[in-house]
Structure 1
Amino acid sequence: MPTQRVTFPGHDGGNLAARLDLPDGPHLGTALFAHCFTCSKDIPAARRIAGRLSAMGIAVLRFDFTGLGHSEGEFSNTNFSSNVSDLRGASKYLESKGMAPGLLIGHSLGGAAVLRAAGEIDSVKAVATLGAPFDPSHVTHNFGGALDDIEKLGHAEVSLGGRPFTIRQSFVEDVNATNLAPAIASLKRALLVLHAPRDQVVGIENAGAIFDAAKHPKSFVTLDGADHLISMGEDAEYAAEVIAAWAGRYLDLSPPAPPPGAPEGIVRVSEADQKGFLQDVNSGPFHHALADEPLAYGGTNQGMTPYGFLAAGLGACSSMTIRMYARRKGWPLDHVWVDVSHDKLHVKDAEMPKGEKVDTFKRVIHLIGNLDSDQRNRLIEIADKCPVHKTLERTSKVITTTG
């Protein structure tokens, strides 16, 4: 997944730092990600969601709001309205590159910001929020006793996530004056609300209020066990999977024609986590799976092993070939399933080097239906005619080049 470091002007003219995660293959759509209050574009949830979407052909721009992360400007001079303006600036930047965003994703207060900004960005077709507050003033609960000092002095220092931030009265007044209900009701975009039921920062009742205020099409997904920052890898992966699957219904992700000589197109495999072995496996924008290794081999066991995929290919092709033949013959085959296991066995063939091992696939075919013995035997024979079976039985050639 290639990533470009880019900048664009924020609401006050200062440069906002961003990462543009681009697909390895064809660019089929664009998403814009807004991070949580006082967070940055590089939090784990943002990285994983961007990685998953880019793997299916959707470029993702994630940026630091003014005064945060690597962006210019003073955070103390910002407020909720300036965040919305920064979002519009990010959208204009993407539009100038011919990549107008079709999907907005916002986390926490960034989720409230995308709800507010979506109606002003014509290209947007879908909006997803994670742990977003229905009322932006909810964020002031994090200021505790400092609210009195902010009101008296016009500003005060508060500790958020273990870091000091100066909050001004203008920020408090801005969030208190913001009412998202009209913007949500008139969104006219598909909406996905994701929220953790035990979120200790933004309660689950906020998700309910957002969902109730929105009109269809709208969806609500619970992030069971996740914290507000979606800091656990498995929670970020689940959120990424849900958003990717949902977005495919509302974005036009029509891929270009496959290259000559590759009738099934390109299967792209890319790292999803550089710490282990997790891989994103994509065949076009709509078909995705995870490949991994078991825990005992240093993986996270979130997907099939490479040999598991190979065995799955043999099983699927065998079942399809049997069904196709039985359908053509009009035979009463009610159901078919195929069990496939893989092993490496020592070769006893005299033509093979002594001690050499060969890959052995054991295939057990189950046929359900009122079939006579001749029909059953014929269907078992037909399984050997499946293209994957033939490929595995003959020598294949792998041609490798660098990209």
Structure 2
Amino acid sequence: MPTEAIAISTSAGHDLSGALELPTGLVRGAALFAHCFTCTKQSKAAVAVSRALAKEGIACLRFDFTGLGGSGGDFGRAGFATDVADLVAAAQHMVERFGKPILMVGHSLGGAAVLAAADDLGFEHIAAIATIGAPSDVPHVLERIEGDLNAVEQDGEGAVSIGGRDFALSREFIEKTKAIDLLGEVARVRVPLLFLHSPTDSVVGVEHATALFSAAKHPKSFVSLMDADHLLLEERDASFAARMIATWGARYIPMKDDWPMPEEGVVVQTGHGKFGTEVHTVSHSFIADEPRSYGGDDTGPTPYDLLLGALGTCTAMTMKMYADRKKWPFEGTRIYLTHERDHAEDCEHPLEEGAQVQAIKRKIVLLGDRLTEDQRARIIEIADKCPVHRTLEGHLHIHTERG
């Protein structure tokens, strides 16, 4: 999937560094991801969730808070209120670009920040909010800071360590962090909410999820991230959370009205990937792409994969229909297909000079052992009668007109 570098200007005069994960195909909606305390947009959870949303057709921006990663500003003087302001600026960018309410997602303190930012941004601009391992009280993060916070408050500034990294922390940071009534903010939220939390989270206990859930109004949902650590460092945990949020979020970001769902046949439309193309049938949508070796993003089957798939599926269906009609004990089939672009050298009959012959090789395996040899032979013979097979071997004309 394509990733676009984004710079977002803040009222404080510095830029926030962002990475926008775009769907390979068309965009059905947009989302914003807020990373955990002192993490960056490159955290495993940020990357996994934003890319999972992109696979669902939801463009997702992950960005660095003030003073972290590639963003400007002083983290030690920022505090939670600055995180909220950063989120509002980033969300406004997404709303203006994509023109519809967005999905807000936050991890750990980032989860608390998206909840606190909702009122400032305006609920009309938010489709839904999801949090991962979020604390129910913002001052909870001060417990993760190693250093003499009393001395910082008394002297105005002091050296501390957060997550093994050294920072110069200001009195303003501590005061802004202590001033937030997060549960009061949650009670005012008027959009669908999803809370994901691990019952074994040793950094932010699951009791925080209970408090958030109790304070929230319906519609609200909870997903338990069993055995996951707070930072979702295990790939399976990050992927699971990402899939849950993507599936849940898609409910609140309905497909755009201008998507080309045809009344008959198939419509294809290019998207954001280099070669990725959205394929729409009357009732389904999916992506076709090229492999990375051809310069694509490998987010879907290639055109020739689809061609082989059409022949293979039609073959299997035709054999099943025939066997069912005969009331034979057909137990299924497995079909292997490959495409050869130049088959001329294997042809025994003479060809015109420069002629190219393409071939599809098909190997059919009939599963089970209940069919007789005569029945198996007849079913294999019927395979050549499938409609797609006849189309490919017939005289096919393609008529192109300009739309």
TM-score relative to the length of structure 2: 0.72
Tell me which residue corresponds to 2:342. none
Equivalent pairs, count: 376
String of CA shifts for 1:323-365, please: whole Å, max 9, x gaps: 88999x9x99999855446799xxx99779xxxxx97655566
Query: Does 1:244 find its partner at 2:258?
Result: no
1:157 equivalent among 156, 159, 171: 159
Deviation at 1:251, TM superposition (A): 0.2
The one-letter code sitting in structure 2 at the alignment partner of 1:191 is L
Q: Which runs of 5+ in 1 are unaligned?
A: 272-279, 293-302, 353-357, 368-374, 397-403
Query: 1:310–1:338: structure 2 CA closer, same or farther, 3 Å change rule?
Result: farther
Aligned to 2:169, what secondary structure does the other structure show? strand
Provide the residue aligned with 2:46 in structure 1.
46
Is the contact made by 1:136 and 1:176 (CA closer than 8 Å) also made in structure 2?
Answer: yes
| Partner in structure 2 of residue 265 of structure 1 | 268
Deviation readout 1:298-344 (Å, 9 max, x if unpaired):
xxxxx9999999987667545666788999x9x99999855446799
The answer to whether residue 182 in structure 2 is matched with residue 175 in structure 1 is no
Structure 2 unaligned runs (5+)?
292-299, 340-345, 351-358, 369-374, 397-403
- The residue type paired with residue 95 of structure 1 is V
Counterpart in the other structure of 2:75? 75
Specify the alignment match of 2:111 in structure 1: 111
- Number of the residue aligned with 2:217: 215
Q: CA deviation at 1:63?
A: 1.6
1:153-196 superposed Cα distances (whole Å, 9 cap, x missing partner) = 33332222221122333333333332222332332222222223
Q: Which residue in 1 is equivalent to 2:354? A: none
2-structure distance, mates of 1:207, 1:310:
49
Shifted more, 28-37 versus 199-208: the winner is 199-208
2:191 aligned to 176, 189, 192, which one?
189
Offset of 1:17 from its aligned partner? 1.8
Identify the residue that residue 27 of structure 1 maps to in structure 2.
27
Aligned to 1:91: 91
- What is the SS of the residue equivalent to 1:79? helix
Check whether the contact 1:311–1:341 (CA below 8 A) recurs between aligned residues.
Answer: no
Cα shift at 1:124: 0.9
Instruction: Give the structure 1 partner of residue 17 of structure 2.
Output: 17
CA distance in 2, matches of 1:30, 1:232: 26
Residues 138 and 177 of structure 2 are in contact (CA less than 8 Å); yes or no, is this contact kept in structure 1?
yes
Q: 1:248–1:286: 8 Å Cα contact kept in structure 2?
A: no
In 1: Cα distance, 2:272 partner to 2:363 partner: 26
Contact (CA 8 Å) 1:318, 1:338: kept in 2 or not? no
What's the counterpart of residue 200 of structure 2?
198
Q: What's the secondary structure of 1:97's corresponding residue?
A: helix
Return the letter of the residue paired with 2:22.
Answer: L
Map Cα deviations across residues 207-230 of structure 1 (whole Å, 9 max, x no partner): 232223223322222333432222
Deviations 1:362-388 (A, max 9, x none): 556689xxxxxxx99999987665555
Say which one has the larger Rg: 2
Q: 1:143 aligns with which of 142, 145, 153?
A: 145
Q: What is the CA–CA distance in structure 1 between the aligned matches of 2:238 and 2:113, rounded to whole Å?
A: 21
Shift of 1:30: 1.1
1:230 matched to 2:249? The reply is: no
Cα deviation per residue 1:271-320 (whole Å; 9 max; x = unaligned)? Answer: 9xxxxxxxx9986696589x99xxxxxxxxxx999999998766754566
